[in-house]
Amino acid sequence: MRFNTGREDSHSKEAFYKSQEVIPGGVNSPVRAFSSVGLTPVFALSAQGAHVTDIDGNEFIDYIGSWGPLILGHAHPEIVHTIQKVAILGTSFGLPTEIETKLARQICDSISTVDMVRMVNSGTEATMSALRLARGYTKRQKIVKFQGGYHGHADALLIKSGSGVATLGLPDSPGVPESVTADTITLPYNNLDSVRTAFEQFGDQIAAIIVEPVAGNMGVVPPLPGFLQGLRETTSRYGSLLIFDEVMTGYRVDYHGAQGLYEIEPDLTCLGKIIGGGLPVGAYGGKHQIMKQIAPAGPIYQAGTLAGNPLAMSAGYKTLQLLSESTIYDELERKSAKLAEGFEKNSLNLGVPLKVNRVGSMLTAFFSELDVMDYESAKQSNKQLFQKYYAAMLDFGILMPPSPYEVMFVSAAHSDEDIEYTIQSHYKALKKIVEK
Ligand code: PMP
Q: Is the CB of 149 under 6 A from ligand 1?
A: no
ipTM for the predicted complex comes to 0.99
214 lies in the same domain as 111 = yes
356 lies in the same domain as 319 = no
Q: Is residue 386 part of a domain?
A: yes
Q: Is residue 3 part of a domain?
A: no
Q: Is residue 1 part of a domain?
A: no
Q: For ligand 1, what atom is nearest to the CA of residue 152?
A: 11
| pLDDT by residue, tens only, the chain of 436 residues | 445 544 567 999 999 999 999 999 999 999 999 999 999 999 999 999 999 999 999 999 999 999 999 999 999 999 999 999 999 999 999 999 999 999 999 999 999 999 999 999 999 999 999 999 999 999 999 999 999 999 999 988 888 776 665 555 555 688 888 888 889 999 999 999 999 999 999 999 999 999 999 999 999 999 999 999 999 999 999 999 999 999 999 999 999 999 999 999 999 999 999 999 999 999 999 999 999 999 999 999 999 999 999 999 999 999 999 999 879 999 999 999 999 999 999 999 999 999 999 999 999 999 999 999 999 999 999 999 999 999 999 999 999 999 999 999 999 999 999 999 999 999 999 999 988 6
Q: Is residue 68 part of a domain?
A: no
Q: Is the CB of 69 under 6 A from ligand 1?
A: no
Domain termination residue (choose one: 324, 345, 361): 324
Q: How far out from the chain centre does Cα 257 lie? A: 13
385 lies in the same domain as 283 = no
Q: Is residue 69 part of a domain?
A: no
Q: Is residue 118 part of a domain?
A: yes
430 lies in the same domain as 340 = yes
| Residue 416 annotated among the catalytic residues of the structure | no
Q: Is the CB of 124 under 6 A from ligand 1?
A: yes
How many CB atoms are closer than 10 A to CB 156? 22
Which residue range forms the structural domain that includes residue 253? 77-324
The pTM of this model reads 0.96
Q: For ligand 1, what atom is nearest to the CA of residue 282?
A: 15
Total domains present in the chain: 2
Q: How far is the CA of 282 from the centre of ligand 1 (A)?
A: 9
Q: How far is the CA of 178 from the centre of ligand 1 (A)?
A: 22
Catalytic residue among 63, 150, 317, 390: 150
Q: Is the CB of 150 under 6 A from ligand 1?
A: yes
130 lies in the same domain as 259 = yes
185 lies in the same domain as 294 = yes
Decide the pairing of beta strands 362-366 and 355-359: antiparallel
Q: Is the CB of 403 under 6 A from ligand 1?
A: no
344 lies in the same domain as 412 = yes
| Residue 150 annotated among the catalytic residues of the structure | yes
Q: Which CATH number does the domain housing residue 405 bear?
A: 3.90.1150.10
Q: Is residue 6 part of a domain?
A: no
276 lies in the same domain as 410 = no
Mutation test of ligand 1: which of 66, 150, 161, 270 has the most ligand atoms closer than 8 Å to its C-beta? 150
Q: Which CATH number does the domain housing residue 264 bear?
A: 3.40.640.10
Domain termination residue (choose one: 324, 355, 386): 324
Q: Is the CB of 245 under 6 A from ligand 1?
A: yes
Evaluate the CA torsion angle 337, 338, 343, 349 in order and state its sign. Answer: positive
374-432 pLDDT, tens digit per residue, is 999 999 999 999 999 999 999 999 999 999 999 999 999 999 999 999 999 999 999 99
317 lies in the same domain as 332 = no
92 lies in the same domain as 53 = no
146 lies in the same domain as 282 = yes
Q: Is residue 94 part of a domain?
A: yes
Catalytic residue among 54, 245, 267, 418: 245
| Residue 245 annotated among the catalytic residues of the structure | yes
Q: How far is the CA of 215 from the centre of ligand 1 (A)?
A: 11
Domain termination residue (choose one: 301, 324, 347): 324
274 lies in the same domain as 410 = no
